[in-house]
């Protein structure tokens, strides 16, 4: 089976010959558009601080040269200023030539088109997160207008990724803290479920799968995400959810989970036996030789304070244990 066929069989729970994985040599290749926006590269502003502007106009900062950083100033001081905001334009097919080139260069790999987020991830960064959550409650009509404008930006992005040959899109949507989701499930169901479902339906109608990354304890909305059409959920802290709990979601939904060995718990022990056991436990509990699990690799060891060898141990165990014959 080709890497692309391995991933497809994984998503279909069609018993791939081995576990799909994103460590070298990865079965999955990232690609992105080259639309000209107001975004900038990272720039060092003092001895310990870097800043950049994203495609929406938000200011990001970080205190090291490698991490993803975080938004420190949203572009919207007020919801009333959204009419003056310059939104990205992803409607030009010429901006997806790199995607076509990546498809041609990697015909047998699974090609993922990078999306900046769905409605929540984009909109929450335009305002401070605490202010944004308040806006949802006290300015619901203005927030709906903002959300509609964000969704209108994302739709041509999805269409053009499909036309350029991507196999899936993937977006980040950090919905929770370490203990709870940012909103209650009722509010999520009312405002965000239909938007997620609509964008997923568009992607599926074009032949794309939909992958989502999320941090935090989001268990109360995972069933809704599955129902909305998310095909794969990527977690860097699978132990925050519990392997058995993740497997339980698969009883009602054909949902795939994509995770490394937990980057905040097990990897931090630097205990080879524990790391190998965690890799086996995920395969035994979630993958089971049938699919539904992609073995991950966190891409920034420096930011989590680990030498790469600890993830390489996990990768080795995923490869050794993750064969269909072992589960026959």
- Which are the contacts of 135, defined by CB distance < 8 A and separation ≥ 6? 79, 127, 142, 143
- Distance between CA atoms of residues 118 and 97, nearest Å: 23
| Residue 85 predicted with pLDDT over 90 | yes
pTM strictly above 0.85? yes
- Distance between CA atoms of residues 261 and 284, nearest Å: 14
Q: What is the dihedral of CA 147, 148, 150, 152, to 10 degrees?
A: 160
State which H helix or E strand residue 318 sits in. Answer: helix 308-321
As a whole number of Å, the end-to-end CA separation of the chain is: 17
pLDDT tens-place string over residues 143-178: 999 999 999 999 999 999 999 999 999 999 999 888
| Residue 265 predicted with pLDDT over 90 | yes
Of the listed ranges 78-87, 127-136, 306-315, the least confidently predicted one is 127-136
- Distance between CA atoms of residues 192 and 197, nearest Å: 8
Which pLDDT does position 182 carry in this prediction?
86
The bridge status of strand 59-62 relative to strand 49-53 is: antiparallel
Which pLDDT does position 57 carry in this prediction?
95
Contact indicator for 56, 122 with CB cutoff of 8 Å: yes
Query: What is the chain's percent helix, strand, coil content, to nearest 5?
Result: 45, 15, 40
Domain ranges of the chain: 3-37+85-327
User: What's the token pair of residue 267?
Assistant: 């990897």
Q: What is the mean pLDDT of residues 249-257?
A: 97
Among 236, 240, 318, 311, CA closest to 284: 318
- Distance between CA atoms of residues 124 and 216, nearest Å: 16
Mean pLDDT of the chain: 96
- Distance between CA atoms of residues 112 and 84, nearest Å: 32
pLDDT band (50, 70, 90) for residue 8:
very high
Q: What is the mean pLDDT of residues 51-79?
A: 93
3-class state of residue 18 by DSSP: strand
Q: What is the mean pLDDT of residues 112-137?
A: 93
User: What's the token pair of residue 93?
Assistant: 């097919």
Q: What is the mean pLDDT of residues 233-246?
A: 97
Higher pLDDT, 242 or 303: 242
Helical ranges in 20-128 per DSSP H: 97-105, 119-126
- Distance between CA atoms of residues 309 and 100, nearest Å: 34
Q: Which residues of 114-138 are buried (b: 16+ CB within 10 A; e: fewer)?
A: bbbbbbbbbbbbbbbeeebeebbee
Q: How far is CA 64 from CA 48, 73, 125, in A?
A: 7, 18, 21
**Beta strands, E only, 3-137:** 20-21, 28-31, 43-46, 49-53, 59-62, 70-73, 110-114
pLDDT tens-place string over residues 194-232: 999 999 999 999 999 999 999 988 999 999 999 999 999
pLDDT tens-place string over residues 23-54: 999 999 999 999 999 999 999 999 999 999 99
Lookup result for tokens 């692309």:
4
Answer whether CATH 3.20.20.210 is correct for domain 3-37+85-327.
yes
Length of the chain: 328
Which pLDDT does position 67 carry in this prediction?
85
pLDDT band (50, 70, 90) for residue 16:
very high
Which pLDDT does position 68 carry in this prediction?
86
Percentage above 90 pLDDT, the chain: 92
Contact indicator for 127, 77 with CB cutoff of 8 Å: no
Which pLDDT does position 158 carry in this prediction?
98
């Amino acid at each position: 089976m080709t890497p692309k066929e391995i991933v497809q069989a994984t998503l279909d729970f069609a018993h791939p010959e081995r576990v799909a994985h994103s460590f070298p040599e990865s079965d999955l290749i990232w690609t992105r558009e080259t639309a000209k926006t107001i975004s900038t590269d990272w720039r060092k502003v003092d001895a310990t601080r870097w800043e950049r502007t994203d495609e929406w106009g938000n200011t990001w900062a970080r205190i090291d040269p490698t991490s993803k950083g975080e938004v420190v100033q949203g572009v919207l001081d007020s919801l009333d200023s959204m009419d003056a905001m310059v939104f990205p334009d992803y409607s030009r097919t010429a901006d997806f030539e790199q995607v076509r080139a990546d498809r041609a260069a990697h015909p047998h790999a699974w090609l993922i088109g990078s999306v900046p987020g769905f409605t929540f991830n984009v909109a929450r960064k335009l305002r401070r997160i605490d202010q944004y959550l308040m806006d949802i409650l006290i300015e619901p009509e203005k927030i709906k207008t903002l959300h509609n404008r964000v969704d209108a930006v994302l739709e041509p992005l999805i269409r053009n990724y499909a036309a350029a040959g991507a196999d899936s899109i993937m977006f980040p949507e950090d919905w929770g803290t370490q203990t709870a989701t940012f909103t209650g499930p009722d509010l999520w169901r009312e405002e965000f479920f239909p938007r997620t479902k609509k964008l997923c339906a568009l992607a599926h109608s074009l032949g794309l799968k939909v992958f989502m990354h999320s941090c935090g304890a989001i268990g109360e909305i995972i069933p809704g995400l599955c129902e909305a059409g998310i095909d794969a959920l990527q977690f860097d802290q699978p132990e925050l959810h519990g392997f058995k709990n993740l497997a339980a979601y698969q009883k009602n939904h054909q949902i795939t989970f994509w995770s490394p060995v937990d980057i905040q718990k097990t990897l931090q022990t630097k205990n080879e036996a524990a790391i190998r056991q965690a890799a086996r436990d995920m395969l035994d509990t979630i993958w089971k030789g049938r699919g539904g699990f992609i073995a991950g690799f966190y891409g920034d060891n420096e930011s989590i304070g680990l030498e790469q060898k600890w993830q390489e141990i996990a990768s080795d165990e995923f490869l050794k244990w993750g064969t269909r014959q072992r589960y026959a």
